[in-house]
A and B are shown apart, each in its own frame.
Chain A
Amino acid sequence: MPAAPLSLLWVVPALPLLGFAVNGTLALGRPGAKGAVSIVGVGTLALAFAASAFAVIEFAKLHAAAPLVFPYWEWLPVGELQVGFALQLDQLSAVMILVVTGVGALIHVFSIGYMHEDPGYARYFAYLNLFVFFMLILVLGANFPVMFVGWEGVGLCSYLLIGFWFNERINADAGRKAFIVNRIGDFGFLVAMLLIFWRIGSLDFGPVFARAPAAFAPGSAVVTAITLFLFLGCTGKSAQIPLYTWLPDAMQGPTPVSALIHAATMVTAGVYLVARCGVLFALSPLGSAAVAGVGALTALFAATIALKQWDIKRVLAYSTISQLGYMFIGVGTGAYAAGIFHLATHAFFKALLFLGSGSVIHAMHRAYHATHAHDDAQDMRNMGGLARHLPWTAGLMWIATLAIAGIPPFAGFFSKDEILGAAFAEAEVRPLWYVFWAMGMAAALLTAFYMTRLMRYTFHGPNRTGDREREHLREAPWMMTAPLVVLGALTVLGGGLNVPRLFGGGAFLEHWLEPVTSAAARLHPVVDTARTTEWALVVAAVLVAALGMFAAFRLLRPAALVPARLAPAETGLARLLWKKWYVDELYDAIVVRPIVWISREVLWKIVDARLVDGLLVNGSAAVSRALGWMGSRLQTGEVGSYVMLFVIGVLAVLGAAVR
């Protein structure tokens, strides 16, 4: 039954892997061959996108109700544990591979222009291709271990690319922070995996989700533990409270990396995981409430921090964390289609925002480079009025801003509205969701505000870059603007993927995902609300967004800003937000410093120096030396004593023989 061409699904991840191999070889052997690197890097991604599109079209023709699983080889046959290296294609992974390869290909094109002057050009594309390979393994894996390989692989690539300019210490530290914080989440993923195997005896998605409803009583302790541990993994990878702190620091990497890995694809892996394991989360009310609650809290919390950041990329980083929080509200509510819909639209508009900011930073950097100034090219206080110099970037970023703020008819409006609507509907069954809904609305208000603030400070008002630098500010080459235009089009039209019935749409994505989400929906039905309520919610959401933007226009004075090096220190609440609620300092005080102290004072000075080195290593040496000393005392050098011992020995042997 599975169409023969679809068994070539392995080609999709294999293409970026091939690109990695070729570019990695070039990076080692011919790092200057930029033309070849660009062709291989972008070419493999374009081909992978074409292969994905072909696979998805073939798959759509089948109208398959179950995932198509392609086992390629036996991987871990250990007793009862039979893990094969298997890929699977279903409606959910179809959406994911299109987003990953599509947005990925655009960002690769943008990178050609952005990274062109960099000496590590080939290495950059090798890492980027490797990342896409692991991301595809993550979304195509047919069991937990294969998915985990991708999960760890994208983490590795994230680390490599955050610390891409590793000769500056701050970048290397940011990479390590991301890696170490993600370890905590990965621990949760592993524990969840072991619990699933312990209770169900399989790690393949098919059997696990088929047997789960029989194996676990709804709300039982084990399934709650599994979901909470899985969600711990998600909080690490998708930057949710309490493990979100690595994502803002991850902005030390090149901007296209922030767009691809830390906005559009990798950080959404947690949302994908929750959607994939919908059956388990539907069985655990506490687990799904934790997902939605943490999502709502993160959405609001990150949005408050974004209000007072000056680094353009950090605003977008906190915005990403906040939007990921929305996705978790969606999937935690059981509205998987809404969560995945927001994932896709967010990939479009956030990639656009990041690439736009990359274009701005590129221009700023070139201007400062031309005059040998050393000001911060990412600080919004050094920008202002850039719309006159970068009209395309400004226009496209305004589209993305309207989308993320939730203004119709842009993509973000539909997806965000759907999540908030689902949360409000769920509240009829579980009143706690009223709180989550309210937090989501508050976050939407702040989102509209801080995005408008970013746009006004960057593109409007007087220019603060400096008089000599100003004439060097200009739009990036078309190679960098073209991906922005495509993403802009997707941002405008992306909402069409899933126009709700309320607006006379067909809710295409919801129907498309039905085979995947139906099992979870049977366990935990999605609540429907009256049409009037839905309309009221839509109007409220749009009003909130408009209010946020209006407030940003009324309250902010771009004309009053001064360049970063002249700016006075923040005070009061502004300082608290600017300092990110001191969360990093708090973690440093309650986690990092105690661990360092214990490592140094206990593990090193006591356990290692005294116990291992002192007692075990030197102790065993002292024991054998003492035994040797005692033995050497027997060797007196006096023949008489030897003879005495000899005679005693002979007598003893004779005595034993006679008896």
Chain B
Amino acid sequence: MLLEPSLTVSAVLFTLGVAGVLLRRNAIVIFMCVELMLNAVNLTFVALAQQLGVAGQIFVFFVMAVAAAEAAVGLAILLAIYRHRQTLNLQNINLLKG
């Protein structure tokens, strides 16, 4: 049915996410782009679940749960970094270099 358009949208969303992670410098934006990629994957799961069984839909819940946890921890870290450095520009946060 709507499989092909769904996968296309998913691919576009995922690529946007990757591009965002690669190109943007603000940690919050990168964080959002990661969420975008997760949701693109979720869309793929749901679209394919119609043909391959309900397991895909169940997996979406797991992804959402992990994403929620990740958002909680990740935002807390970002908050701590901002308090410490007064910036979220990742180019300035490069202490761990060789």
Query: Chain A interface (Cβ within 8 Å of chain B)?
Result: 631-640, 643-644, 647
Contact = CB atoms under 8 A, between A and B. Distances in A.
A635 B98 contact: yes
B22 A637 contact: no
Given A632-B98, A638-B91, A640-B91, 15 more contacts: A631-B98, A635-B98, A636-B97, A636-B98, A637-B93, A637-B94, A638-B90, A638-B94, A639-B30, A640-B22, A640-B90, A643-B21, A643-B22, A644-B22, A647-B22
B34 to A, nearest CB: 10
Nearest to A650: B18
Nearest to B97: A637
A636 B93 CA distance: 11
B96 interface: yes
Interface in B8-33: 18, 21-22, 25, 30
Interface in B39-98: 90-91, 93-98
Contact of B25 (A631, A637, A640): A640
A634 B97 CA distance: 9
Contacts of B18: 647
Interface residues of B, number: 13
A643 B21 CA distance: 8
A637 B21 contact: no
Which of A632, A635, A640 is the most central at the interface, judged by chain B CB atoms within 10 Å of its CB?
A640
Contacts of A634: 98
Contacts of A636: 94, 97-98
Nearest to B92: A638
A637 B22 CA distance: 15
Contacts, number: 32
Nearest to A634: B98
A639 B90 contact: yes
Contacts of B25: 640
Contacts of A647: 18, 22
A640 B91 CA distance: 8
B35 to A, nearest CB: 15
Contacts of A638: 90-91, 94, 97
24 contacts: A631-B98, A632-B98, A635-B96, A635-B97, A636-B94, A636-B97, A636-B98, A637-B93, A637-B95, A637-B97, A637-B98, A638-B90, A638-B91, A638-B97, A639-B30, A639-B93, A640-B22, A640-B90, A640-B91, A643-B21, A643-B22, A644-B22, A647-B18, A647-B22
B21 A633 contact: no
B98 A633 contact: yes
Which of B21, B30, B98 is the most central at the interface, judged by chain A CB atoms within 10 Å of its CB?
B98
A327 to B, nearest CB: 78
B71 to A, nearest CB: 18
B14 to A, nearest CB: 12
Contacts of B90: 638-640
Nearest to A644: B22
B92 to A, nearest CB: 10
Nearest to A639: B90
A635 B97 CA distance: 5
The 6 tightest CB contacts between A and B, nearest first, are A637-B97, A632-B98, A637-B94, A635-B98, A637-B96, A638-B94
Contacts of B21: 643
A469 to B, nearest CB: 84
Contacts of B96: 635, 637
Nearest to B24: A640
A19 B9 CA distance: 102
Contacts of B98: 631-637
A636 B96 CA distance: 7
Contacts of A635: 96-98
B81 to A, nearest CB: 12
A629 B21 CA distance: 28
B21 to A, nearest CB: 6
Contacts of A633: 98
A640 B25 CA distance: 8
A635 B22 CA distance: 17
Contacts of B95: 637
A639 B18 CA distance: 13
Which of A632, A635, A639, A643 is the most central at the interface, judged by chain B CB atoms within 10 Å of its CB?
A639
Nearest to B27: A639
Contacts of A640: 22, 25, 90-91
A554 B60 CA distance: 130
A638 B24 CA distance: 12
A336 B94 CA distance: 92
A236 B27 CA distance: 86
Nearest to A631: B98
A636 to B, nearest CB: 5
A643 B96 CA distance: 15
Contacts of A631: 98
A638 to B, nearest CB: 5
Which of A631, A632, A638, A647 is the most central at the interface, judged by chain B CB atoms within 10 Å of its CB?
A638
A640 B97 CA distance: 13
Contacts of A643: 21-22
B91 to A, nearest CB: 6
Which of A631, A637, A644 is the most central at the interface, judged by chain B CB atoms within 10 Å of its CB?
A637
Nearest to A629: B98
Nearest to B21: A643
A236 to B, nearest CB: 62
Contacts of B97: 635-638
A634 B91 CA distance: 15
A637 B98 CA distance: 7
B53 to A, nearest CB: 24
Nearest to B98: A632
A631 B25 CA distance: 25
Contacts of B30: 639
Contacts of A632: 98
A97 B25 CA distance: 98
A638 B93 CA distance: 7
